[in-house]
C-alpha cells in the first residue's frame, strides 16, 4: 500500500528547496493571578508557603485554590504549610526547556509538603543531590527543606525558593 505524503529533510529546507513564509507570533498576556494565587505569591516574599483548606472535606490545597477540586465547595481557610516535605518522585534533566543540552544536569522533583494534605505536592528543583541517588532511587521518600532567596531579592515568585535540599541527618 502506497500512502500519500511527500517527506523532506531539514537540509532541503536549509538549502532553499522548500518554499515557506516566516512569521513570529506576537502573543502576550498578563494572567490575573486572582484571589488564591495573589496571596500565595505575596506570602512567598515573607518566606511562607500558604495553602487553602476546604472546611467541608478538610483537604489542604497547595497550590491554593478558592474551590475544592473534590467536593466543589469554596475553600476558605488559609493555612501556612511547612517549607519541608518528602520527595514523591525525582528525575535528572539533561535538557533545557527548548530541548538544548544543559551544561550541568538538574535534579527536579515533586515534593509533598508537610502540613498539606497527603499527596499534595509541588514541582521544584533539588539542590545538593547526587544524580546517582536519583537513579538508584535513594532520594525517593527523603525529607527535604526549602532554600530561600535572601529576603531582599524575593519578588513574589515560585523562584523565591531557590531549590529544596536534603535535611541533615536524614
Partner 1 sequence: MARMNINFKNRVAVIGAGLTLFRRRMYETTRELAWEAAKQALDNAGLTLRDIDAVVLGTAPDAFDGIHMQGEHMTDAAGGYMKPYTRVFVGGGTGVFAAIAGWWHVASGLFDRVLVVAEEKMSTVRPHPQYVFHHIFDPIMDKPLGVNLIWIFALEMARYMYKYNIKKEDIALVSVKNKRNALDHPAAQVAAKITVEDVLNSEVLVWPVQRLDISPVSDGAAAIVLTNEEYAKQYTDTPVWIEGVGWSLDTTYWTNRDLAFPKYLYYAGKMAYKMAGIDNPRKEIDVAEVYDPFDYKELHHMEGLQLARKGEAPILTREGVTERDGDLPINPSGGLLGVGNPIAAAGLMKVAEIFWQLRKEAGKRQVAKDPVTGLAQAWGDLMQIGTVVIMRV
Partner 2 sequence: MPSDVYIIGVGSTRFSPSTPELSFKELMFEAAVKAYNDAGIDARRDLDAIVSASEDYWEGISIFDEYIPDQLGGVLKPVFTVSGDGLWGVIHAYMLIKTGAFNIVAVEAHSKASDIVDINSIWRMAFDPYVIRPLIDNPHVLAGLEMNIFMENLDVDRDAISLVVSKNRANALNNPIAPYGSDVDPDMVSESRVVSYPLRELDISSYSDGAVVAVLAGETAARDLGIDAPKVKGVGWVSGSSYIEEWDYASPEFVWRAAQMAYSQAGIDDPYDSIDVAFIDDRYSFRELQSIYALGLNDGYSLNELMYNGVIYPDGDLPVNPFGGYLGCGYPLLAGGLLKLYNAMMYLRSAGPDTVESALVMARMEYPSPSAAVVILGW
Q: Which residues bind partner 1 (CB under 8 A)?
A: 1-10, 13, 18, 23, 25, 31, 33, 37, 41, 61, 63, 65, 69, 88-99, 108-110, 119-125, 131, 134-135, 137, 140, 157-159
Interaction between residue 119 and partner 2 (CB under 8 A): no
- Contact in structure between 108 and 125 (CB atoms under 8 Å): yes
- C-alpha cell of residue 84: 519541608
DSSP code for 108: E
Site string for Zn ion, 70-109 (x = CB under 5 A): -x--------------------------------------
Cell numbers representing residue 39 in the block: 496571596
- Least distance to Zn ion, CB of residue 101, Å: 44
131 binds, among partner 1, partner 2, Zn ion, none (CB under 5 to 8 A by kind): partner 1
**Which residues in 50-109 contact partner 2 (CB under 8 A)?**
65-67, 69-72, 74
**57 binds Zn ion, rule: CB under 5 A:** yes
Q: How far apart are the first and last CA of the chain?
A: 61
Q: Is 140 exposed, middle or buried (0-12, 13-18, 19+ CB in 10 A)?
A: middle
Torsion of CA 154, 92, 84, 68, to 10 degrees: 90
> What does the binding site for partner 2 look like in residue numbers (CB under 8 A)?
21, 23, 25-37, 65-67, 69-72, 74
Amino acid at each position: 500500500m502506497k500512502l500519500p505524503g511527500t517527506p523532506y529533510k531539514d537540509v532541503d529546507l536549509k538549502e532553499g528547496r522548500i518554499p515557506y513564509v516566516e512569521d513570529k507570533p506576537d502573543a502576550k498576556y498578563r494572567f490575573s493571578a486572582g484571589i488564591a494565587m495573589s496571596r500565595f505569591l505575596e506570602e512567598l516574599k515573607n518566606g511562607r508557603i500558604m495553602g487553602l483548606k476546604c472546611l467541608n472535606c478538610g483537604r489542604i490545597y497547595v497550590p491554593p485554590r478558592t474551590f475544592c477540586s473534590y467536593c466543589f465547595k469554596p475553600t476558605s481557610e488559609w493555612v501556612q504549610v511547612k517549607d519541608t516535605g518528602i520527595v514523591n518522585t525525582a528525575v535528572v534533566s539533561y535538557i533545557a526547556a527548548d530541548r538544548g543540552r544543559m551544561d550541568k544536569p538538574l535534579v527536579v522533583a515533586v515534593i509533598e509538603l508537610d502540613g498539606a494534605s497527603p499527596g499534595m505536592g509541588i514541582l521544584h528543583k533539588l539542590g545538593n543531590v547526587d544524580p546517582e541517588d536519583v537513579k538508584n532511587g535513594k532520594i525517593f521518600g527523603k525529607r527535604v527543606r526549602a532554600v530561600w532567596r535572601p529576603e531582599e531579592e524575593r519578588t513574589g515568585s515560585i523562584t523565591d525558593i531557590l531549590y529544596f535540599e536534603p535535611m541533615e541527618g536524614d
